[in-house]
């Protein structure tokens, strides 16, 4: 075919993006529903949702870091008492299930990526909140909770309730991480749950969160 008759690729025109199309109709839907179809109201509520999500992310950070370090410290102490010479997550005397050990291996791999040394602290940081939450489940009641993990928390703590409360915080954290709406939740109750769980780890942690938390102030600013 003669080259002059060949179809030349056309550069697609730039679409006329609007804020609504960039945020997407599906994403704005819950905000429009909550504001009786007011686009302006939906935008204000959307921005407030982002603000309160950021405020919750700050306090959830304290809970997650405090939880994993308390549990890691107790597991390390217990493993040492058992005579372990390896980190607790590698010692076979610590009775982790096969799925849990697979998560550990992923965390170890991530901690050592790029040829870095496999430092204990890096491995612990790579283990997500869901990992620590899973160690408080029923299957670990006799394996880990009774001989070890109950001592990672302040005073008498009911494992089943702690596991359930942490699951609710995981749900909230995951919605925030995926930029989902939380404006319809009872956020004052969620903030109280954050303080309650933090207090079970340590009263000092709960006090710190209560001192620095922006959540109560942002809740008062809801449009």
The confidence score (pLDDT) of residue 107 equals: 97
List C-alpha distances in Å: 64 to 11, 127, 132, 149. 48, 11, 9, 16
By residue range, what is the domain housing residue 87? 35-98+129-220
8 A C-beta contact, residue 197 and residue 165? yes
- Whether residue 175 is contained in a domain is answered as yes
Residue ranges of the alpha helices (H) in 82-144?
98-111, 120-126, 129-134
- Whether residue 103 is contained in a domain is answered as no
List per-block mean pLDDT (blocks of 10 residues) for the chain, which spans 223 residues.
58 71 82 91 95 98 98 97 94 96 97 91 96 98 97 94 98 96 97 98 98 98 96
Distance of alpha carbon 200 from the chain centroid: 18
- Whether residue 78 is contained in a domain is answered as yes
- Whether residue 93 is contained in a domain is answered as yes
The confidence score (pLDDT) of residue 126 equals: 97
- Whether residue 133 is contained in a domain is answered as yes
The confidence score (pLDDT) of residue 2 equals: 53
Nearest Cα to 118, choosing from 89, 92, 94, 95?
Answer: 89
- Those residues whose C-beta lies under 8 Å from the C-beta of residue 115, and which sit 6 or more positions away, are none
- Whether residue 105 is contained in a domain is answered as no
Nearest Cα to 42, choosing from 33, 50, 54?
Answer: 33
- Whether residue 138 is contained in a domain is answered as yes
The confidence score (pLDDT) of residue 23 equals: 80
> What's the rounded Cα separation, in Å, for the pair 149 and 74?
6
- Whether residue 149 is contained in a domain is answered as yes
Domain count within the chain: 1
The confidence score (pLDDT) of residue 21 equals: 77
């Amino acid at each position: 075919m003669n080259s002059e008759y060949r179809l030349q690729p056309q550069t697609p025109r730039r679409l006329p993006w609007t804020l609504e199309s960039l945020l997407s109709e599906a994403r704005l839907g819950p905000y429009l529903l909550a504001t009786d179809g007011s686009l302006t109201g939906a935008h204000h509520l959307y921005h407030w949702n982002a603000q309160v999500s950021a405020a919750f992310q700050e306090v959830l950070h304290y809970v997650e870091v405090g939880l994993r370090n308390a549990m890691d410290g107790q597991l390390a102490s217990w493993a040492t008492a058992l005579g372990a010479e390896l980190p607790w997550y590698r010692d076979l005397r610590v009775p982790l299930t096969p799925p849990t050990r697979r998560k550990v291996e992923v965390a170890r791999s991530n901690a050592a990526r790029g040829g870095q040394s496999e430092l204990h602290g890096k491995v612990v940081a790579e283990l997500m909140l869901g990992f620590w939450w899973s160690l408080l489940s029923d299957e670990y009641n006799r394996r880990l909770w009774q001989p070890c993990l109950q001592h990672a928390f302040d005073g008498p703590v009911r494992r089943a309730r702690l596991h359930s409360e942490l699951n609710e915080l995981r749900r909230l954290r995951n919605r925030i991480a995926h930029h989902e709406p939380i404006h319809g939740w009872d956020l004052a109750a969620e903030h109280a749950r954050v303080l309650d769980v933090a207090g079970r780890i340590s009263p000092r942690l709960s006090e710190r969160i209560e001192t620095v938390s922006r959540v109560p102030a942002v809740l008062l600013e809801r449009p």
